[in-house]
Structure 1
Amino acid sequence: MNEKELQKEAMRVLKETSRTFFIPITFLQKELKMAVVTAYLMMRAIDEIEDNEHVEVTNDVKFKLLNEVSGLIEASTFDEKKYLELLAPYEQFLPEVTMRLGDWIRLIPTGAEHLIKRSTSEMAYGMAKWSKQNWQVSTREDLDEYTYYVAGLVGVMLSDLWEWNAGVKTDKDLAVGFGRGLQAVNILRNQHEDLTERGVSFVPDGWTRDQLFEYAEENLAKANLYIQDINKKSILLFCKLPLALAHKTLKALKEGKEKMSRAEVEQTVQEIQGE
């Protein structure tokens, strides 16, 4: 498969994996767009290992796989053969986006490899650690650490990519807050499901739901500040859509709804696209 065909495949898998994320990516231009696509697919590949619910994919298996994948990604040359051998016993339980990690790495634009691979490797390491701990969050520090690995890191990597491609400099601490804010909204939205279906709680001991709302709002406030440094319209639109959806989802949850309606999501997309 040549590069153009592989790029089309990447966009297909992206759309099948996340329709919500597919939309803001279309705001980005050429090389930066492909860098973000590959980064998303790589991180989704490892996320599908962490979130796997098949009984055969135990927490010990997740710990082993994610630790080894972290090392393979970090290496100067990705050993795809070793990667596929590692996943072979669990291949039937893993989606296409995970099995094709080598394809996504091949598509990373020249110059962005170390930025994307470094962040994805660190994320896999963090996911391995929390898989071993069964994602049991006890303190505010635990919550900060977990949300850093699964979301704050994404913010830092995107900041690196903005500077690499467009010379746009942003605050890394605010970038972490951006990621944490989006993740906190997800935790609030899935709190009951996580506890009843997975036996997992991301809420620190003794915290009320109101405190979790405060945590989300505190970090989304950092996200609001983060986007003020962005002076390139395509990148700004990319950031504004998930942020707007997060704020509106938080509002819906406070009103007792499970999530935003499809019509509300579509209206938000149209509002951002019209800017």
Structure 2
Amino acid sequence: MNDKTLLKDAVRVLKATSRTFYIPITFLQKDLKLAVSVAYLAMRAIDEIEDHEDVDNDTKHGILLQVSDLLKQPFDEQAYLAALAPIKDKMPEVTLRLGDWLKVCPEGALDRVLAATSEMAMGMGKWAKANWQVHTRQDLDDYTYYVAGLVGVMLSDLWEWGAGIKTDRELAIGYGRGLQAVNILRNQQEDMEERGVSFVPDDWTRNDLFDYADENLAKADEYMKDLNKRSIILFCRLPLALAHKTLKALKDGREKMTRAEVEATVEEIQAD
């Protein structure tokens, strides 16, 4: 395949995999748009391994650690597919074609994407082995760092690479953690009923988890103040606005925002 075909495929898979994330990516420009697209696809590729209900935790752990090691060196597609062999038939296109997505990553951004995705794979493997059993605040911080805080760190690395914008690392982690905390609140009952997994520390109430989300979303709001390029501000503002509004809906006793509220928020950000 040539680069043009791969780019077309990357956009198609990105759009099919996450409509919500695809929209803010369209706000970005040129190389940054492509780098963030590849980063999302790479992280989604390993997330599909971690999240698959028909793969046992020991297998997830072993494969994710292999993938983590492979991402620390020039990417070997054959070695990657060999690592996936035990679960290959269960994996979606976004995971099977990780090598294709990495091929179209802008050269200067590739090392950053590989490093962050490698660290995420290692952390996901560790938590799969532990069956995602969170018992303390420290556990929760560790889990949310690997699955979401790292996204904030990687995005900040890309902002510096592509736009010369420097941000605070802890606030970047807070940005990712805040979004993840809202997801945990939204899916709390489903995670317990369907997977027997709780991301809530043993001595916490749901209100404590609300406080955790508020604390990290406040860091996300502070993070926004370091951004000075309109396209990047718009990119970061949409997921954050949706997280704030979802949290309010949950506090009001609703399960989630309505589709109309989501669409109105998207329109509001796009019109800014």
TM-score (ref. length: structure 2): 0.99
Residue in 2 that maps onto 1:222: 219
**Unaligned runs of at least 5 residues, structure 2:** none
Residue 201 of structure 2 is aligned with which of 198, 201, 204?
A: 204
Whether 2:33 is the aligned partner of 1:33: answer: yes
Q: 1:91 is aligned with what amino acid?
A: K
CA–CA separation in structure 2 for the residues paired with 1:254 and 1:169: 34
CA–CA separation in structure 2 for the residues paired with 1:86 and 1:258: 39
Per the TM alignment, residue 92 of structure 1 is displaced from its structure 2 partner at its CA by 1.6
Per the TM alignment, residue 85 of structure 1 is displaced from its structure 2 partner at its CA by 1.5
Q: CA RMSD in A?
A: 0.6
The answer to which of 260-269 and 104-113 deviates more is 104-113
CA–CA separation in structure 1 for the residues paired with 2:145 and 2:82: 30
Residue in 1 that maps onto 2:52: 52
Per the TM alignment, residue 86 of structure 1 is displaced from its structure 2 partner at its CA by 1.7
Q: Provide Cα deviations, 1:148-187, integer angstroms capped at 9, x if missing partner.
A: 0000000001001001011111111100000000000000
CA–CA separation in structure 2 for the residues paired with 1:35 and 1:18: 16
Whether 2:97 is the aligned partner of 1:100: answer: yes
Q: Secondary structure at the match of 1:269?
A: helix
CA–CA separation in structure 1 for the residues paired with 2:2 and 2:9: 11
Per the TM alignment, residue 256 of structure 1 is displaced from its structure 2 partner at its CA by 1.1
Q: Map residues 60-209 of structure 1 onto 2, 5 A cutoff.
A: 60-75=58-73, 77-209=74-206
Runs of 4+ aligned residues of structure 1 deviating over 6 Å after TM superposition are none
Q: 1:198 is aligned with what amino acid?
A: R
Whether 2:271 is the aligned partner of 1:271: answer: no
Q: Number of residues paired by the alignment?
A: 272
Residue in 2 that maps onto 1:243: 240
CA–CA separation in structure 2 for the residues paired with 1:160 and 1:65: 27
Q: Secondary structure at the match of 1:112?
A: helix
CA–CA separation in structure 1 for the residues paired with 2:86 and 2:219: 42
Per the TM alignment, residue 37 of structure 1 is displaced from its structure 2 partner at its CA by 0.2
Q: Secondary structure at the match of 1:135?
A: coil
Per the TM alignment, residue 88 of structure 1 is displaced from its structure 2 partner at its CA by 2.0
Q: 1:140 is aligned with what amino acid?
A: R
TM-score (ref. length: structure 1): 0.98
CA–CA separation in structure 2 for the residues paired with 1:39 and 1:155: 11
Per the TM alignment, residue 89 of structure 1 is displaced from its structure 2 partner at its CA by 2.4
Q: 2:45 is aligned with what amino acid?
A: A
Per the TM alignment, residue 255 of structure 1 is displaced from its structure 2 partner at its CA by 1.0
**Unaligned runs of at least 5 residues, structure 1:** none
CA–CA separation in structure 1 for the residues paired with 2:216 and 2:173: 9
Q: Secondary structure at the match of 1:111?
A: helix
The answer to which of 104-113 and 259-268 deviates more is 104-113
CA–CA separation in structure 1 for the residues paired with 2:89 and 2:259: 32
Q: Map residues 15-34 of structure 1 onto 2, 5 A cutoff.
A: 15-34=15-34
Per the TM alignment, residue 18 of structure 1 is displaced from its structure 2 partner at its CA by 0.2
Q: State the percentage of identical aligned residues.
A: 69
